[in-house]
Structure 1
Amino acid sequence: MTDQQDARAFFRAAYENRYTWDTDFPGYTADLELTQGDEVYTGKVRINADFSVEVSGIEDETVRESVYTQLRDIVTHRKRSSFEQSHGKNSFSFGDRDDTDAIEILVQGDAMGSNYKVRGQEICQVSRVMGRMAFTIDHHASQDTGKGYVATRYDAVFRNPQTQDLLRVMKFEDRFEPVGDYYILTQQVIQAEDPQGQQTTTCFSYSNVQLLTPAAV
C-alpha cells in the first residue's frame, strides 16, 4: 500500500466507527428545557424520519432559532453518509503524531480545507474553514454505543482565518441515552467565552423522548 492508501484506510476506519442512525431511523419527539443564566424556556422538538426539524412552543424567535440550529447540528452528526459520499473525491496523507498519540490526517480536495487527527479508531480533531471563520474541534471524551462512538466532551475554537484572531471558544458536554434501538442526545451543556472573557452557559435538556412510528408502506 502507498502512504496515501494507508492514510485513506486509516481515516476511513475511524470515520466508519462514528455512531450514526441507520436508514430505519423513524425520528422522534421530545420535550425541551433550555436554560441560559436566569432564563428558562420550554418547548417541544421533533426530528422526522427525513431528518427535517421542527421546534414549537417557544415564542422568542432568537431562542427558537438557536434550538433549531442545535437540532440541525444533531442531525448533521447522526445522519448516515457513506465514506465514498463524503470523501470519495478526496486524497489523504499522514501528518505528524502528537504527544497524545493522535495522528494528523491531511486532506487534499476538500472544499473547506478540512484536516483531521485520529487517535485509535476515533476522529479526535477536526479543523475546517467556512467563509470568514476557521474552527478547530478537539474531542476529549467519548461514549461507546456498541455501534460506534459518540463524542461526549469536546471544545471548539473559532478564529478569523486571515488574521487568526480569536473569535470565541465553546466547550461542550453531551449526554446520550438509548431510546429503543437508537442513542439520542438528552442533554448538552455549552460553555461559551468571547475574546473579552465574557462567559455564558447554556443547557439543553431533552425529556420524554418518544420514537415516531414508522409510516406504513
Structure 2
Amino acid sequence: MDNLKEINCKEIFRKAYERRYTWRNDFKGYQGKCIFLRNNIIHKGSFALGKDFKPNIQKIEDENIVKSIASQLFEVCIHRVKREFESVHSENNFNLLKNSESGILMNVSGKNQGDKYRVKNDCINMVYRTIHGSIIEIFVEEFLDTGKGFLSKKYSSQQIDPNTLKAKSQKLEYEDEFVNIDKKDYWILSSRTIKYLNQNKEEETQKFVFDDIRLLN
C-alpha cells in the first residue's frame, strides 16, 4: 500500500467512465411490446421510446403501471447518452479514500462535493450521489461486457437521507437482461427484475419484459 499516493483517482475514474456502454449520437429510439408482472398479475401493452427519450405506453389502462414502465425505459435510456467526461466532471477532483479488494474508493471535491465512487477492473461498481435532494447509493455485483463498453447487469439501489445518512427507502435488487438489436451494437434492455421487501418484510418481485424490439428509423 506504499503506492497509495501515486494512485491518480481522476484518471482511474475517467477510464472507467469512458468504458461505460453508451448509444451512438444518431440513436433514433425503438419500439416493441411490454409486459409487467407482479404477484402473478400480468399486464401487456406496447411502447415506443423516441429520440427525445419520452416513453409512450399503449394498451395498459392502469396509470401507475404505465408510469412504472415509462420510468424504467427513461431511466435506462438516460444512462445510454454519451456525455464527454470533461463536460460532466471538469470541475470535480477525485480523492482516494481506500484501496481494497472491493476496488478503489474515492470521494469527489469541487462541483459535486460529497459524491463517492468505487472502481474495480476499470468498472464503476459503487455510486454514492446526491440527486434531487436525496443520496442514491448503488452497488454493482455483475457487469455485461458488450464489446463496446460495460453495462450494469446485477445491482442494488437505495435512497439515503442526506441529513441523517440513514436509509429512506427500501433496498431494490435489480437484475437486467439485454439484447443486441440488428447487430448494430444497440444493446437494449429486454427484461428487468426488481426484488424488495414490502411493509410486511415479505419479498416482492416486479418484472418488466420488453419484447419484439425494433429500432425506429
Say yes or no: TM over 0.5: yes
Task: Kindly report which structure 2 residues correspond to 1:145-156, keeping only aligned pairs within 5 A, or say none.
Answer: 145-156=146-157
Which of the residues 183, 190, 203 maps onto 1:186? 190
Secondary structure of residue in 1 paired with 2:114: coil
Whether 2:138 is the aligned partner of 1:137: answer yes
C-alpha distance in 1 between matches for 2:6 and 2:108:
10
Q: Residue 198 and residue 113 in structure 1: after superposition, are their counterparts in 2 closer, same or farther (change >3 A)?
A: farther
Q: Residue 81 and residue 110 in structure 1: after superposition, are their counterparts in 2 closer, same or farther (change >3 A)?
A: same
C-alpha displacement of 1:47:
1.5
Structure-2 residue corresponding to 1:52: 54
Q: Residue 131 and residue 34 in structure 1: after superposition, are their counterparts in 2 closer, same or farther (change >3 A)?
A: same
Which of the residues 69, 74, 77 maps onto 2:76? 74
Secondary structure of residue in 1 paired with 2:25: coil
The number of equivalent residue pairs is: 210
Question: Which residue identity is paired with 1:124?
Answer: N
C-alpha displacement of 1:49:
2.3
C-alpha distance in 2 between matches for 1:111 and 1:198:
36
For the Cα contact (< 8 Å) 1:112–1:128, is it kept in 2? no
Question: Which residue identity is paired with 1:188?
Answer: R
C-alpha distance in 1 between matches for 2:115 and 2:166:
19
C-alpha distance in 1 between matches for 2:116 and 2:166:
20
C-alpha distance in 1 between matches for 2:92 and 2:112:
10
Q: Residue 138 and residue 206 in structure 1: after superposition, are their counterparts in 2 closer, same or farther (change >3 A)?
A: same
Question: Which residue identity is paired with 1:68?
Answer: A
Q: Residue 194 and residue 158 in structure 1: after superposition, are their counterparts in 2 closer, same or farther (change >3 A)?
A: farther
C-alpha distance in 2 between matches for 1:5 and 1:111:
21
Structure-1 residue corresponding to 2:119: 118
C-alpha distance in 2 between matches for 1:4 and 1:42:
54
C-alpha distance in 2 between matches for 1:183 and 1:131:
28
Whether 2:143 is the aligned partner of 1:170: answer no
Task: Report Cα offsets for 1:38-95 as digits up to 9, x if no partner.
Answer: 2211111111123332222211111111111111101111111111121121111222
Task: Kindly report which structure 2 residues correspond to 1:9-24, keeping only aligned pairs within 5 A, or say none.
Answer: 9-24=11-26
For the Cα contact (< 8 Å) 1:159–1:168, is it kept in 2? no
Which of the residues 201, 205, 214 maps onto 1:210? 214
C-alpha displacement of 1:32:
0.3
More displaced, 201-210 or 83-92? 83-92
C-alpha distance in 2 between matches for 1:156 and 1:73:
13
Q: Residue 15 and residue 39 in structure 1: after superposition, are their counterparts in 2 closer, same or farther (change >3 A)?
A: same
Q: Residue 208 and residue 131 in structure 1: after superposition, are their counterparts in 2 closer, same or farther (change >3 A)?
A: closer
C-alpha displacement of 1:99:
3.2
Flag structure 1 segments of 5+ consecutive residues without an equivalent: none
Give the ranges of 4+ consecutive aligned residues of structure 1 lying more than 6 Å apart after TM superposition: none
Structure-2 residue corresponding to 1:104: 105
For the Cα contact (< 8 Å) 1:20–1:77, is it kept in 2? yes
Structure-2 residue corresponding to 1:40: 42
C-alpha displacement of 1:26:
2.3
What percentage of aligned pairs have identical amino acids? 28
Question: Which residue identity is paired with 1:71?
Answer: L
